[in-house]
Amino acid sequence: MSGRRKTQLIKPRIREILSRELPEGLVELLPKHWVQIGDVLILPLRPELEPYKGRIAEVYAQVIGVKTVLRKGRISGEFRETNYEVLYGGDTVTVHVENRIKYKLDVARIMFSPANVKERVRMAKVAKPGELVVDMFAGIGHLSLPMAVHGGARVIAIEKSPYTFQFLVENIELNRVQDRMTAYNMDNRDFPGENIADRILMGYVVTTHEFIPKALQIAKDEAVIHYHNTVPERLMPAEPFETFRRIAREHGYEAEKLNELIIKRYAPGVWHVVVDVRVFKN
Ligand X SMILES: C[S@@+](CC[C@H](N)C(=O)[O-])C[C@H]1O[C@@H](n2cnc3c(N)ncnc32)[C@H](O)[C@@H]1O
282 is in an annotated binding site: no
- State the sign of the Cα–Cα–Cα–Cα dihedral 155, 161, 162, 163: negative
2 is in an annotated binding site: no
Instruction: Supply the minimum distance, in Å, between the C-beta of residue 97 and ligand X.
Output: 16
Write out 91-121 in H/E/C secondary structure: CCEEEEEECCEEEEEECCCCCCCHHHHHHHH
Q: Which of 68, 188, 229, 230 binds ligand X (CB under 6 A)?
A: 188
- Interface segment toward ligand X; rule CB under 6 A; list 15-23, 87-95, 96-104, 135-143: 135-143
Q: Which of 142, 199, 220, 226 binds ligand X (CB under 6 A)?
A: 142
78 binds ligand X (CB under 6 A): yes
143 binds ligand X (CB under 6 A): yes
Torsion of CA 40, 114, 175, 214, to 10 degrees: -130
Instruction: Supply the minimum distance, in Å, between the C-beta of residue 110 and ligand X.
Output: 7
159 is in an annotated binding site: yes
Q: Tell me how far apart the alpha carbons of residues 141 and 184 are, in angstroms, rounded to a whole number.
A: 12
230 binds ligand X (CB under 6 A): no
Helix (H, G, I), strand (E, B) or coil at 160: coil
175 binds ligand X (CB under 6 A): no
Number of residues engaging ligand X in binding (CB under 6 A): 19
What is the β-pairing status of strands 219-232 and 270-281? antiparallel
CB-nearer residue toward ligand X: 57 or 168? 168
Q: How many CB atoms lie within 10 A of CB 179?
A: 9
